[in-house]
Amino acid sequence: MQPQDFKSNDPIAWCPGCGNFGILTALQKALSKLDKAPKDILLVSGIGQAAKLPHYIKANCFNGLHGRALPVASAAKMVNPELSVIVSTGDGDCYGEGGNHFLHNIRRNIDITVIVHNNQIYGLTKGQASPTTDQGYNTKIQREGVILNRFNSLAVAIASGCGFVARGFSRQTDDLAELMVKAIKHRGFSLLEVMQPCVSFNKVNTYEWYAERLYKVEEDSSYNPKDMEAALIRSFEWGDKIPMGIIYHSETDTYQDRIGKDKNPFLNQNYNDISEILEDFV
Amino acid sequence: MIEELNIRITGEAGQGMNTIGVVISKTFKEAGYHIFSHQDYMSRIRGGNNFYQIRVSTDPVHSPRERIDILIPLTAEALKIHEKSLDEDNIAIVDKKRFNVENCENYFCIDFYNLADEAGGNDIYVNAVCAGTLAAISGIDMDIVRKVLSDIFSSKGNKIVSNNKKAAELGFHKTKDTFDTEKFQLKKGNKSPRYILTGKQAVGLGAISAGCKFYSAYPMSPSTGVMETVAQYAEKFGIMVEQAEDEIAAVNMVIGASACGVRSMVSTSGGGFALMGEGISLAGMTETPLVVGNFQRPGPATGFPTRTEQADLNLVLGAGHGEFAKVIYTPGTIEESFYLTKRAFNISEKYQIPVIILSDQFLADSARNIDKFDFDREAIERDYITAEEAKKIKDYKRYKLTSSGVSPRAVFSLIDEVIYLDSDEHTEEGHITEEAEIREAMVNKRYHKKMKSLIEEFIGPVVYKLEKAEKVFFCFGSIFPVLKESLESIDSNRLAMIHLPQVWPINKNKIISLIKNAKNVYTVENNAEGQLAKLLRRETGVEVNSSILKYDGRPFTLDELSAHISDVVKSK
């Protein structure tokens, strides 16, 4: 398969220069390396600019409600484990509206991949603070600057038992595609957060801003992504230097392993004769 | 000899009242009687006051009675609370010593806690003692009690079974020796229906029988019993049961599973249902089959968590923002709970819409003995493009415009093409659009066209004595059996009833033709507003003269409703 085999004919509605274009390119590249037909891939999204991405890819798509991509994606994987399920979500969709699902689906450790487009701003509603907006950032609503703590998604994910926690940059599409492939191949819930500038509403966290700060953790040859303590420390790094690459990686048994591999409701839709169990109600 | 016996067992939460209720229900059923039981319990795990009431009869019974014949208080406090329902015609069975009762003149005094201790060294055997006592009072053979105890406790080992049997025997003989048991001897029972089911079990079995393979919910009284029933048989039938982190997750998970072509269901109560509103709308927009059970309890907000009401009708009618087709079934009996759940799966899949089963705590927790279900009724009708059919399809469009409004539904990976499902307004391909023309066509598809067919699929109504009646009583849901029995007890050709097992959409012409000879129309409802009366006026133009309403969190009893109806009849 080639990346163009995963292009849909739906016209793209993002702003020119949007950081999402890099994510789209990287994902098409990553999907072409999976050895999977588009019909066996399901992209799930909620609402926001990130949620439009599945329309631009030739693969199955469920574009649902704001914040609710994860429950849809998890259930799809539960009933049809043969599907490769990838969520395309944003910082507002995943950490704000859908925060509870983020926590509990990490606990489920379902074998899905969650790609969070993090631009640290609400784009589709025109520039309000998101859970990842830095303190002090001014908006039309947060007029004196954001006063809430920045949500540290990577630290929360590691602490909640997520076995694959990574960060990428939408401008570096080759590296990003490689991270995506690894995230998808990871057995269990994988979180890949992609720093992705919003060219229309975020005038602080620009391409340049990220380019100056993001560095690859693997540049430090002693860094061991299996070391949870080291990963947690690294996940708190935010400011002049921001780590990217695979921050934490450790495989444990997945939801599917825990319930037994033979569970595949999609393939086992034999109809139920309840005459026998009715005798339990005698 | 009597034909009917009403027994109320009462005590604190945690005293095993459910077990004794089941033992007694099964004993009378095995002895050939019809039983109807209902539960009244508080939202606590220990303490308080709960009761389990069983109506035993030589004829079929479908509703609770106000009056009781035998009161079995398991604590002194319970005796005090329920003593006011005692008169010269009924009795309380009382442990004099345990309850510090001085005068046994008005009671059947029996030291059942001593007997429990003698049988098994534990208060819990008081349940079996009571079963023996009741058998003696009503003339049931002890062999039946022994068999029922064996059946119920066999999984707990021989010791527990023999202790229970001993306790029952002690209760039986002590009662025989101490009292004149003539008064409550039941006429011989004929063969009675074999199965005892609650409303929630019937919905759970209906779902399993309909081929449900994915069930997700957040625990909420009184709906949790449905999840328990499905979970009990999940392993056997390969059903995935997932407890969701909240109701929003539950409904979205069910939509996700259903979008994959797997029959799925979620249940909740009013508060959880309110949280699911957006999900119901999502199912309407994405045209994904969705089955939701709402087991009503009194609101607003937390309300009475363990009691009953029918006040969510408006909520359910308006569930989900925007306009789209949906169906609401309102089962009134154990049997309807089963068949309408099966139907909900078929209709939701055939029309790719949300279908809501609106029940309530009273129906969910009450039990009756019933005959075997007819498994061919509402038989499974799957409706999606199979892998074989998919091979012939080119340029598949998930939301293809058709005359019926229903587009052939392909599911992921069974077709070589990709499928786009979208909560935004979308094109036939499922991509986001803002075009006015497509918008109008899609609204017509999702609302007008589907509703047109759904009105033809309207089921019921169930009518009783409609021929010559001047006064017609409408009801929906769990009011049906108690209303029917009330009219039977009054036995007047002037009175009739119509039960709506489906309240949405309503087939206006059908309703109007049913009541063309009626002079007065009433509703009987477990809510304060008369929500059904307003729905009837809005949808059919029928003016309801007045409504008999109850909203204290308790169900109508037969005696209570009969009295209300007699009053209505008297007022010309």
Chain-chain contact of B263 with A273 (C-beta, under 8 angstroms) = no
Q: Which residues are B357's β-sheet partners?
A: B293, B329
Cβ–Cβ < 8 Å for B479, B524: yes
Q: For residues A61 and B286, is the Cβ–Cβ distance under 8 A?
A: no
What pLDDT does residue B380 have? 95
Domains in chain B, number: 4
Question: Collapsing DSSP states into helix, strand and coil, what is residue B279?
Answer: helix
pLDDT (average), residues A188-203: 96
B202 and B265 housed in the same domain: yes
The CATH code for residues A3-281 is: 3.40.50.970
Read off the pLDDT of each residue in A221-225 and give the average, rounded to a whole number.
Answer: 97
Go through A44-59 and write b for each residue having 16 or more CB atoms within 10 A of its CB, e for each that does not. bbbbbbbbbbbbbbbb
Q: Does A62 touch chain B (CB under 8 A)?
A: yes
* Closest chain A residue to B208, measured at CA: A272
Residues 6 or more apart from A53 whose CB is under 8 A from it?
Answer: A20, A23, A24, A27, A43, A45, A88, A117
What's the mean pLDDT in A42-61?
Answer: 97
Whether the pLDDT of residue A271 is over 80: the answer is: no
pLDDT band at A164 (very low <50, low <70, confident <90, very high): very high
Within 10 angstroms of residue B543's Cβ, the number of other Cβ atoms is: 10
Q: Are residues B347 and B477 in the same domain?
A: no
A77 → chain B, closest CA residue: B257
- CATH code of the domain covering residue B473: 3.40.50.920
Distance CA B358, CA B352 (A): 19
Based on the number of CB atoms within 10 Å of its own CB, is B122 exposed (0-12), middle (13-18) or buried (19 or more)? Answer: exposed
**In chain A, which among 241-260 make CB contacts under 8 A with chain B?**
259
**Pairwise CB contact (< 8 Å): B431 & A10:** yes
With 80 as the cut, is the pLDDT of residue A17 above it? Answer: yes
Of B298, B297, B231, B293, the C-alpha closest to B268 is: B293
Dihedrals phi, psi of B60, to nearest 5 degrees:
-60, 140
Which H, E and C letters describe chain A, residue by residue? CCHHHHECCCCCCCCCCCCHHHHHHHHHHHHHCCCCCHHHEEEEECCCCHHHHHHHECCEEEECCCCCHHHHHHHHHHHCCCCEEEEEEEHHHHHHHCHHHHHHHHHHCCCCEEEEEECCCCCCCCCCCCCCCCCCCCCCCCCCCCCCCCCCHHHHHHHCCCCEEEEEECCCHHHHHHHHHHHHHCCCCEEEEEECCCCCCCCCCCHHHHHHHEEEHHHCCCCCCCCHHHHHHHHCCCCCCEEEEEEEECCCCCHHHHHCCCCCCCCCCCCCCCHHHHHHHC
The parts of chain B modelled with pLDDT lower than 70 are 572
Domain boundaries of chain A, sorted by first residue:
3-281
- For residues B366 and B332, the answer to whether their CB atoms sit within 8 Å is no
Residues B240, B331 share a domain: yes
Paired tokens of B210: 């309909």
Residue B375 lies in a domain: no
Contact A247, A231 (CB under 8 A): yes
Whether residue B490 contacts residue B565, with contact meaning beta carbons closer than 8 Å, is answered with yes
In a shared domain, residues B433 and B537: no
Percentage of residues in chain A with pLDDT exceeding 70?
A: 99
Tell me if B381 is assigned to some domain: no
What is the residue range of B31's domain? 4-192
Q: For residue B279, what is the nearest residue in chain A, using CA coordinates? A: A65
Give the model's pLDDT for residue B243.
98
**pLDDT-derived band of residue A43, with 50, 70 and 90 as boundaries?**
very high
Scanning every residue of chain B, which has its alpha carbon at the shortest distance from the alpha carbon of A54? B420
- % helix, strand, coil for chain B, step of 5: 40, 20, 40
Altogether, the residues listed in chain A come to a count of 282
Q: Is residue B376 part of a domain?
A: no
CATH number at residue B311: 3.40.50.970
pLDDT at B46: 81
pLDDT at B16: 82
| Chain B CB within 8 Å of residue A267 CB | no
Query: Rounded CA gap, B396 and B134, in Å?
Result: 67
Q: In terms of Cα–Cα distance, which of B127, B205, B200, B215 is closest to B163?
A: B127
Between chains, do A38 and B418 touch, taking CB under 8 Å as contact? yes
Query: Among B120, B153, B115, B121, which residue's Cα sits nearest to residue B22?
Result: B153
On whether both B146 and B75 belong to a single domain, the answer is yes
Which residue from B254, B262, B418 is facing A265, i.e. has the nearest CB? B262
Are the beta carbons of B268 and B276 closer than 8 angstroms? Answer: yes
Judged by CB atoms closer than 8 Å, whether chains meet at A78 and B240 is answered as yes
B117 and B240 inside one domain: no
Give the pLDDT band of residue A261 (cuts 50, 70, 90).
Answer: low
Indicate the pLDDT class of residue A270, thresholds 50, 70 and 90: confident
Size of interface A-B (CB pairs under 8 A): 180
